[in-house]
Chains A and B, each alone.
Chain A
Amino acid sequence: MMPVFSVIGAGVAGLSVASELAARGADVQVFDPAGPPGPHHCSWWAGGMLAPWCEYENAEEPVLRLGQQAIVWWQQRTTVQQRGTLVVAGRRDLPDLRRFARRTEGFREVGSDLAELEPDLPGVAQGLFFEGEAHLDPRRALSDLYTSLQGQGVRFVQDKAPAALDNVIDCRGLAARDALPDLRGVRGEMLVIRCPEVTLTRPVRLLHPRIPLYIVPRGGGVYMLGATMIESEDRRRITARSMLELLSAAYALNPAFGEAEVLETGVDLRPAFPDNLPRIRRLGGRIYANGLYRHGYLLAPALARGVADLALHNTHSEFIDEDRD
């Protein structure tokens, strides 16, 4: 008889693992004392960019290779906009654009034709277009996963998991540092604004020596502006400086953003291991899946596959760094 798998945590890691297990016919229950996906999950605050080629500029090789699997995986589960990513830089930061181009692949250079892609970027003369990339709305993705899992018979328990359970898959994010001492939090701050005057149809990244900013369209004139990356585990609300920097970067792209309505600010800590790559670790009778860092939606599918391979077939994927059982 197939065992019952108990996933702890209903953020992007936990729901993805549950979804992958359920898709392979396993019996799954999900525990999260905080309840359904919401602001208590770090992945609630994410950008939702499926941008393996761009992320590779400052990440290890698995991000590029395994991240490419994410687009199809999410397309089977939620609405994915496949319109690519536009990377741009201000005139005096063009060396950063050249450097970005040198370290990445999968793009074409855009100049005079940039206005055909995104007409509402008056301050920008040059860019790189990563056509194969995509984005999704993280909150919608979480809620779509949640709903479809319920439809597949996965039980959600709004409580702590009982201590005596077998076949536990721990996806608690930073809360799991009681068992994973090499996990750290990397502070990220973001804003959600409404600015119907500006129409952007794909994520735009603005390169800047100090503030790498991205704007992700959420539809209906709503944009997510993110995100800071601060080596701090302070969860207090967004600082004035960060808000100023994020907003002035948006303003530099299009001064009409100056009239935007600020709908939300968000702060959370990304769970990360020292090399900023996720890990699957079998330890004390549990499987831990954690450390998605800034690649929650990009790497959760590969992480979930790795967990399912281990849990169902005892096969080891590359994210497994320790197997002590």
Chain B
Amino acid sequence: MKRFYGTDLPNPLMLGTAQYPSPAILEQAFRASGAAVATVSLRREGAGGAGDTFWKLIEDLGVLVLPNTAGCHTVKEAVTTAHMAREVFGTRWIKLELIGHTDSLQPDVFQLVEAARILTGDGFQVFPYTTEDLIVAERLLTAGCEVLMPWGAPIGSGRGLNNPYALRAMRAEFPDVPLVVDAGIGLPSHAAQAMELGFDAVLLNTAVARAGDPVLMARAMMDAVEAGRLAYGADPIDARDMAEASTPVIGKAFLA
């Protein structure tokens, strides 16, 4: 598995920490799935730097914490939030999210590149939430990012991979860059599909947190990313139009 800014992840599942029915269920979902990374939204929960008890709970999970800039609409907001996050969690990792459109929560890639450049200069290790656009990806790498996180579909939509073709192209274009599908995952099959495309990890939140049984769904997601990862490594067969019998029929003994 590729390393994320020099860190090895024990497995390819990153889970968000918002929207769970309770912190107790959040904790069980992490324990049951063994997810490697927890993303934390600082903007809302951090208003005034007073989310202490909740953050303590996240830290007690004992997983890697990836703070994010969810809900930021400008470079300035995102940079400020990133600095707050570094102080609170003592990590240089930051998932950079810059929202450009209120309804689709689509990233504003122009501001994203700008903020990534500033934050890299400030010593951050940036995980940019981006689209599948290859030119933007290239610019993010030039700005200092060493990980790319294209969306599968809009945040919380649960639609799966809207554009597998473009994600496959991204994998081919950047064979050595750790790639994470972030957002849009609704089902384990979506997560498995991302891994089958050769992605290095999957980041999701709503699909687990809002499932009827988040703990069960977290386990299902972990099984799915593992299955997809193994399948990618196993070099799957190509699809064919016609049947190809696995046992040759010619010369078979005739048993009347």
- B27 interface residue, CB < 8 Å from A? yes
In the assembly, what is the distance between CA of A134 and CA of B72, in Å?
A: 39
In the assembly, what is the distance between CA of A210 and CA of B44, in Å?
A: 12
Partner of B53, one of A102, A209, A233, A276: A233
- B48 interface residue, CB < 8 Å from A? yes
- B10 interface residue, CB < 8 Å from A? no
| B24 & A233 in contact (Cβ 8 Å cutoff) | no
- B172 interface residue, CB < 8 Å from A? no
Mark A108-149 against chain B: 1 for CB-CB distance below 8 A, else 0.
000000000000000000000000000000000000000000
**Beyond A103-B212, A209-B156, A274-B57, is A233–B51 a contact (Cβ under 8 Å)?**
yes
| A184 & B53 in contact (Cβ 8 Å cutoff) | yes
| A232 & B57 in contact (Cβ 8 Å cutoff) | no
A residues in contact with B25, CB < 8 Å: 275
What is the number of residues of chain B that contact chain A, defined by CB distance less than 8 Å? 21
Task: Indicate the size class of the contact surface on chain A.
Answer: 20 to 34
In the assembled complex, how far is the CB of residue B157 from the closest CB belonging to chain A, in whole angstroms? 9
B residues in contact with A60, CB < 8 Å: 21-22
| A233 & B156 in contact (Cβ 8 Å cutoff) | no
Mark B16-51 against chain A: 1 for CB-CB distance below 8 A, else 0.
000001111101000000000000000011111111
- A234 interface residue, CB < 8 Å from B? yes
B residues in contact with A59, CB < 8 Å: 21
**Beyond A103-B212, A209-B156, is A230–B22 a contact (Cβ under 8 Å)?**
no
| A276 & B22 in contact (Cβ 8 Å cutoff) | yes
| A232 & B44 in contact (Cβ 8 Å cutoff) | yes
| A236 & B54 in contact (Cβ 8 Å cutoff) | no
Partner of A239, one of B45, B47, B52: B47
User: How many Cβ-Cβ contacts under 8 Å join chain A to chain B?
Assistant: 57
- Which A235-250 residues have C-beta < 8 A from chain B? 235-236, 239
| A274 & B50 in contact (Cβ 8 Å cutoff) | no
Tell me the nearest residue of chain A to B44, going by C-beta. Answer: A230
In the assembly, what is the distance between CA of A251 and CA of B57, in Å?
A: 37
Q: Which of A99, A103, A184, A235 has the most CB of B within 10 A?
A: A184
A residues in contact with B27, CB < 8 Å: 274
Partner of B50, one of A210, A233, A276: A233
| B21 & A231 in contact (Cβ 8 Å cutoff) | no
| B22 & A275 in contact (Cβ 8 Å cutoff) | yes
**Beyond A232-B54, A233-B52, is A274–B45 a contact (Cβ under 8 Å)?**
no
Mark B66-96 against chain A: 1 for CB-CB distance below 8 A, else 0.
0000000000000000000000000000000
- A185 interface residue, CB < 8 Å from B? yes
| B22 & A274 in contact (Cβ 8 Å cutoff) | yes
In the assembled complex, how far is the CB of residue A185 from the closest CB belonging to chain B, in whole angstroms? 7
**Beyond A103-B212, A233-B51, is A275–B46 a contact (Cβ under 8 Å)?**
no
| B212 & A230 in contact (Cβ 8 Å cutoff) | no
B residues in contact with A184, CB < 8 Å: 23, 53-54, 57
Q: A210-B156, A233-B50 are in contact. List 17 more A-B contacts (CB 8 A).
A: A58-B21, A184-B23, A184-B53, A230-B47, A231-B51, A232-B44, A232-B54, A233-B53, A234-B49, A236-B48, A272-B22, A273-B24, A274-B23, A275-B22, A275-B24, A276-B22, A276-B24
Q: Which residues of B approach A to under 8 Å, CB–CB?
A: 21-25, 27, 44-54, 57, 156, 210, 212
Which 6 pairs show the lowest CB-CB distances between chains A and B?
Answer: A184-B53, A234-B48, A275-B24, A231-B54, A234-B50, A276-B22
